[in-house]
Amino acid sequence: MTLIGHSERRHVFGETDDETGKKVKAALAADLHAVLCVGETLAQREAGETMAVVTRQLKAAFAGHAGKGRVTIAYEPVWAIGTGRNATPKDAAEVHRVNS
């Protein structure tokens, strides 16, 4: 199993959506189970960009290859990490509904 697209990789180390997609492809080629993290920053959330950001991340992760059914997708909103704010089940359900 491998974790791909974690917020620290994206926001601390500058990992791009394209790089995340390449890692998903490589993990699937190596027959690993991938857990793909997707989510938006607080600024993106407040700007109403949640769905656009997550959809972009998912499209990049699966561009040019099949395998979505072999990847666990974890909604990991950056604004909820270490801030004392929590994503609610409603937040996750809305993201899931738009991107399923």
**Residues belonging to the active site:** 6, 76
**All residues at 6 or more sequence positions from 29 whose CB lies less than 8 Å from its CB, including other chains:** none
The token pair at 70 is: 């072999």
What amino acid is encoded at 48 in this protein? G
Counting every residue written for the chain, the total comes to 100
Residue 21: HSE in the Cβ half-sphere, 13 Å Cα cutoff? 15
Run of H or E including 94:
helix 89-99
